[in-house]
Copies of this chain bind each other. A is one copy, B any other.
Amino acid sequence: MRPERELLKGSTPTLILAVLENEPRHGYAIAREIERRSESTLSLGEGSLYPQLHALEKAGLIAGAWEMPPGGGPSRKVYTLTATGHSELVHRTRSWRDFVSAIEGVLKNGGEPDVQPI
């Protein structure tokens, strides 16, 4: 069950960039890190994750490099945040917070008179 399914749209790339800001990670690890940080509230399906990674790589916001894990297992593509990706993350984070404020402005006005100091 994922009640935020409809709300998630649009924020996925921002979440990926945010997770990569700390350290390079491969796709599977990114998804698990998002789950961990959100305390399992958010979970990224693989059908959303990989297309997004390809899009972000194509846009130059992240850079992927294939890696053979030392302990064995399937090879994996480790993504690093580029400089462009970093400034994009800053920008997207700001946009996100503006957006949240705007929504809160609409929600809070329900029941209260429309006094709204800047």
Contact = CB atoms under 8 A, between A and B. Distances in A.
A109 interface: yes
A60 interface: no
A99 interface: yes
Chain multiplicity (copies)? 2
Interface of A: 3-11, 14-15, 18-19, 21-22, 34, 36-39, 41-42, 89, 93, 95-96, 98-103, 105-107, 109-111, 114, 116
A110 B9 CA distance: 21
A8 B116 CA distance: 22
A109 B9 contact: no
8 contacts: A3-B95, A4-B99, A6-B10, A15-B103, A18-B110, A34-B106, A39-B116, A41-B102
